[in-house]
Amino acid sequence: MTGFSLPSLPPSAPPHSDAPDAWVDRLLLAGPGGEECLHLGTPIDRDALRALVEEQSVRLAAAGLGPGGTAALRLPPSVAFVAVLLACWRLGAQVTLLDHRLTDHEVDAAVARLAPQVLVGSAHRPAAALRGFSEVDPVAVPLADGRPARSGHALIQLSSGSTGPAKVIARTATDLLRELDCYHRLVEFPGEGERVVLLSSVVHVLGLVGGLLNGLYSRAALTVPERMTAAGILAAVAGSDRPTTVVGVPFHAELLAGTVAPPPLPRLRRMIVAGELVRPGLPALFTERYGVPLGTMYGMTETGVIATDLDGTLHPAKRPVHGMRMRLVKGELQLGSASSPYPGLDDPSRWSDGWLHTRDAAELVAATPDATGQGATGPDATGQDGSESDGTVGLVTVLGRLDSQVSIGGLKVDLTEVEQTLTTLPEVREAVVVFDGGAIEAYLATEPDADLALLQAGLTRRLAAYKRPRRLALLPVLPRTATGKLLRDPAALRDSAAAATVPAR
């Protein structure tokens, strides 16, 4: 497949500088009117979606939103969310996405920080926690203290904040279209005539771009399950004759892999997950259950998709997407980025001199031409500190966060290694390992009858003494962020352990 032609937008120009609706109408809303594009409880075709977007455009304009304006959306997954988002962009406005699960206090803080001119919320309470989507009537409220856009960014997102306060991250329309072009070049990713069952939040980058926007652009129908349970997800997969790909986070793959006898799903092609490292053994277990690959992706809110292993044949390595520049500096993976994705933030530890600092440790393997002239992996020629790929990286293996490497008595310990070792113990479903106050602590989601002494004995056989956690806490479930990532804040983890009914040590 070939990529489309990107609109010419200088970095400083707002997305409305030419025709506000050009990229939305031309790339996202175009297509045969009767073609199903969304299924949230009921099917929505493109004619219906275009009508809903037009209706919301009128409402938003009446609330004062126009070219160069700013809007914040606090809507649950819904048809209304899609219509309002696309309407804002058609009007030439900059959109901030706020997770509907945030508290009023958190929303007030975000609004004070970002100063949108219009806040779009729901007139109804969102659906219960396990519901995949809601039916809501959006309400646009003008804010007296709101400010117009101060940059040409089309989208403002907040990072998941799994390890600390959320970052404000901005992307232009060109950034989004470039990411869609990356997906378009991935032949394994769902395309025209196929279907996506989306489990990831549409407020965050995988669900938004890899799910919603790519589905509209590639004309792959997007379905959100009515219930985010294993049974609900499997029912959604079985609900169509189209080739189907499930997109979610590792938690969802764990949930489905735990289904011992799933029903036959002849139209399931694969599941793709991103957001955090996949534990060893999960890809094989998922394939054993369903007979299809568990593909993985690596990405960031700042850039979208970075590297993929959609067939599950490279795990834990991944192949960089088209045009992605990479290098290692002191063990840190850095990505080529012409400008900072952090508006108003001058922090050289995050972005400097055209390079985005991922704060992830990685290994790079160079690409060398094979006999057919196609790219192939060869000896590690780009893995040295300071080396740059210039498009020559064949594979990247993300090892974990740099802050997961700590020193215990002068000896280096990789907390990711400790986590993965813990998840190999039979009674451990998930693990989070943190370093706080000079000590390693582990928080484990275990089977109800897990024996702490047996777990400690298993660790003794598997890990050197200096790598073993000083504290093990057993919980029925581990706390997660709104995006489904495991929470890694030590104070929050200790609070969860204290509140758990499972004995902690």
Distance between CA atoms of residues 63 and 84, nearest Å: 13
Beta pairing class for 319-320 and 304-309: antiparallel
Q: In this structure, what are the phi and psi dihedrals at residue 245, rounded to the nearest 5 degrees?
A: -120, 135
Q: What is the pLDDT of residues 50-76, one digit of tens each?
A: 999 999 999 999 999 999 999 999 999
- Is the pTM value of this prediction over 0.75? yes
Q: What is the pLDDT of residue 373?
A: 36
Number of other CB atoms surrounding residue 18 within 10 Å:
13
CATH 3.30.300.30 positions along the chain are 409-499
**Quick one: which of 82, 302, 68, 74 has its CA closest to 171?**
302
- Residue type for 258, please? G
> One-letter amino acid identity for 67?
P
More confident position, 69 or 487:
69
Taking 70 as the threshold, does the pLDDT of residue 3 lie above it?
Answer: no
Q: What does the alpha-carbon distance between residue 270 and residue 283 come to, in Å, rounded to a whole number?
A: 11
Token pair 């990789």: residue: 414
Residue 502 above 50 pLDDT?
no
On the question of pLDDT at 126 being above 70, the answer is: no
- Are 184 and 218 spatial neighbours (Cβ–Cβ below 8 Å)? yes
Architecture of domain 22-171: 3-Layer(aba) Sandwich (3.40)
Where along the chain do the CATH 3.40.50.980 domains lie? 22-171
Output the CATH code of domain 409-499.
3.30.300.30
Q: What is the pLDDT of residue 44?
A: 97
- With a cut of 80, say whether residue 233 has pLDDT above it: yes
Which neighbouring-strand residues pair with 437?
Answer: none
221 close to 37: Cβ distance less than 8 angstroms: yes
pLDDT at 389 over 70: no
